[in-house]
Structure 1
Amino acid sequence: MNSTIPATPELSVIVPAFNEAEGLAAFLAQLFGVLATCSDSYEVWVVDDGSRDATWERLRGELARYPQLHGLRFTRNFGKEAAILAGLRQVRGRAVVVMDSDGQHPPSLLPQMLDLWRSGKAQIVAAQKANRDTDSWLARLNARLFNGLMHTLTGLDLEGASDFRLLDRRVVDTLLAFPEKIRFFRGMTVWTGFTTVPLAFDVAPRIAGSSQWSTAQLMRLAVTAITSYSAKPLSIVFRLGLFGMLAAFLLLLQAVYSWFTHVAVSGWTSMTVVVLFFGSANLLGIGILGAYLAQIFDEIKGRPEFLVGEILPAPAITTQHDITASKTI
């Protein structure tokens, strides 16, 4: 480890990156420019989530410029949640900030976040988006649907929330102690209940490139988040089953009445609608059960959340997590 960095720096910054080669150097220049003015001891960990461009090569080229900079590269793309977890396992700071590498999480907000933490007013400083003017209409629609589903099914209010937040060391240690492998960082920090202070910020334009999030990826994240924090979908299926039983009982009464009164049962349209509705409901219920079973299946397999391909500068292997990762590569 670089000797210029204290054994326990005041601040650690985790920066997940995926295909950010174009803007990485400019982002790091902004970040280190702000850090030099707001903290005497800090470290920055950039976690390359299996980028397919030159992100890792650009990061390697920046190491000589910034002694406090470190890099970790996955063997493949494991996802942003895994990248955040990898960063949390590496950092040593008394306060830890997680922020994106595309420039939309402004480094200029760091002094305010640190001041709130230093004052003892907050164990978590949650930066919240004041607006989404830089997002496309589809991205805004996806975010609205995602936040609405999360609030309805889990009770977690994530409106305007982002992964851009400062965590006290106690919060970090608590998150690392959680045994589950499938994680939703934003929801986990809210669930802990530690003292949280929101801090609004305007989303800046991306430094370069375009968003790597697709609608399909957001849907997968929504399924993971909902099944991790709520069993309400299962209760909805149960209620739908009760409704189906009631509807079937009413149809049975109608059929018996028609038989006794010698009145022919009316046409096939209503019967077709009923069959299609409850057939679709059954498939939906099976799909929801399958999502929970898949969650359980991934947990009990016991595979590591990620595999580390390279760390820069190369540290001595001292932690159990590092030993395990090294043996599996």
Structure 2
Amino acid sequence: MRPELPSEFRAPSVELSVVSPMFNEETNVRPFVRAVVDVLDPTGIDYEIILVDDGSRDGTWQAIAEAARTNPRVRGLSLSRNFGHQGALLAGMCHARGRAVVTMDGDLQHPPALVPELVAAWREGYKVVNTRRFDSTDTSWFKRASSRWFYRLFSRVSGVTMEAGASDFRLLDRMPLQALISMGDADLFVRGIVSWLGFKTKTIPYQAQPRFSGVPKFTLKKMLRFSTGALLSFSAVPLKLGILIGFVTSGFAFLELCYIGFAYLTGRTVQGWASLMTVMSFMFGVLFILLGIVGTYLGKIYEIVKNRPRFVIGEAVGFERSAADRELLPKGSAQLRESVYGA
């Protein structure tokens, strides 16, 4: 289900919202908030910090709630279960009240010190201010190589150009934010959608920092699922490749049929039942692969047709400070509106 923006979209109440999804980041909540506050307080920017707990199994939500109680700029959302990084990111963006929204990870690999530079570029008239990551020293060679390969492949098959080092550390003006939230993709790939939207964009390079604490949560399995979903959401090339393979294998079958017919007319016996069975097995293998590709696309369509929400809010803190904030939960994600806000 496509979330709806809160009524305050047309009249944002702060200049900047900083949104950070968190999963099992208990020890990073307080350092992250302190780092953002230390950077933004001296600038005079009116801002808020929205921390989204993506179904953590440790004390992340308790740490977020404590930060919200001690700092009026901090607001917290706890999803009812783990909806993934992109779902948590979307939840935070849907609840952001700023004229501009900065999204960044909560492990301090995205440096808060760069945020004023992003804001300065936005004030120059850029609707989207992307960042380009130069990997930190603790990034594995596999992560670096796979990232480069993925963005190269994605750009080629989707027609949407993305540079190596792209991430979800960026600033969005309200206009592209509204367009992004209105998208109904089954697999949300925020960085791809932002590039596809095509608003006036500036890219700022930065040096990624080592994690402040904890371990990376983006496992190889999650990386494969994330990259596969992104490719299928933006490209029909796998289906077109299936058509090409079908033509090629049909061509080989036609040539084989011509050979058999020629041999029969010249009075020869065609030998090679083993090779024939091998070819047939290969053809059936190709057929099932193509059926799997088609089934995957149909599955994506099924997910969209079901129209389920991309996230469900379980708890919220800091949103009850004004009556208007009761409308911040998007329809479809807020059957729990009453239990969250108590009204």
Structure 1 segment 165-314 matched on structure 2, within 5 A: 165-180=170-185, 182-268=187-273, 270-314=275-319
Range with bigger deviation, 261-270 or 79-88: 261-270
Matched, 1:56 2:61: yes
Range with bigger deviation, 169-178 or 51-60: 169-178
What is the CA deviation profile of residues 295-316 of structure 1, one whole-angstrom value per residue up to 9, with x for unaligned ones? Answer: 1111111211111011112424
Matched, 1:154 2:163: no
Equivalent-residue separation in structure 2 for 1:271 and 1:323 (angstroms): 55
Q: Please list every run of 5 or more consecutive structure 1 residues that lacks an aligned counterpart in the other structure.
A: 1-5
SS across alignment from 2:108:
coil
Equivalent-residue separation in structure 1 for 2:219 and 2:283 (angstroms): 32
The answer on whether the counterparts of 2:72 and 2:318 sit within 8 Å (CA) in structure 1 is: no
Matched, 1:326 2:316: no
What is the CA deviation profile of residues 146-182 of structure 1, one whole-angstrom value per residue up to 9, with x for unaligned ones? Answer: 2233123212233211000100111112222334454
Cα gap change, 1:324 to 1:47, in 2 (>3 Å)? closer
Matched, 1:127 2:122: no
Equivalent-residue separation in structure 2 for 1:223 and 1:59 (angstroms): 32
Equivalent-residue separation in structure 1 for 2:220 and 2:73 (angstroms): 36
How far did residue 112 of structure 1 move?
1.1
The answer on whether the counterparts of 1:10 and 1:39 sit within 8 Å (CA) in structure 2 is: no
2:5 maps to: none
Q: Percent identity?
A: 35
Equivalent-residue separation in structure 1 for 2:144 and 2:197 (angstroms): 27
How far did residue 259 of structure 1 move?
1.8
SS across alignment from 1:326:
coil
CA RMSD, aligned part only?
2.1
TM-score by structure 2 length? 0.88
Cα gap change, 1:152 to 1:81, in 2 (>3 Å)? same
SS across alignment from 2:98:
coil
Range with bigger deviation, 253-262 or 295-304: 253-262
How far did residue 323 of structure 1 move?
7.6
Matched, 1:104 2:90: no
Cα gap change, 1:298 to 1:229, in 2 (>3 Å)? same
Range with bigger deviation, 279-288 or 245-254: 279-288
How far did residue 108 of structure 1 move?
1.0
The answer on whether the counterparts of 2:127 and 2:172 sit within 8 Å (CA) in structure 1 is: yes
How far did residue 224 of structure 1 move?
1.6
Matched, 1:140 2:118: no
The answer on whether the counterparts of 2:187 and 2:230 sit within 8 Å (CA) in structure 1 is: no
Equivalent-residue separation in structure 1 for 2:271 and 2:149 (angstroms): 40
Equivalent-residue separation in structure 2 for 1:123 and 1:7 (angstroms): 16
Cα gap change, 1:266 to 1:190, in 2 (>3 Å)? same
What is the CA deviation profile of residues 229-278 of structure 1, one whole-angstrom value per residue up to 9, with x for unaligned ones? Answer: 11111111011111111110011111112222334434355434423432
Equivalent-residue separation in structure 2 for 1:226 and 1:207 (angstroms): 31
Equivalent-residue separation in structure 2 for 1:138 and 1:169 (angstroms): 36
The answer on whether the counterparts of 1:132 and 1:203 sit within 8 Å (CA) in structure 2 is: yes
1:93 maps to: 98
List structure 1 runs of 4+ shifted beyond 6 angstroms: none
Cα gap change, 1:154 to 1:46, in 2 (>3 Å)? same
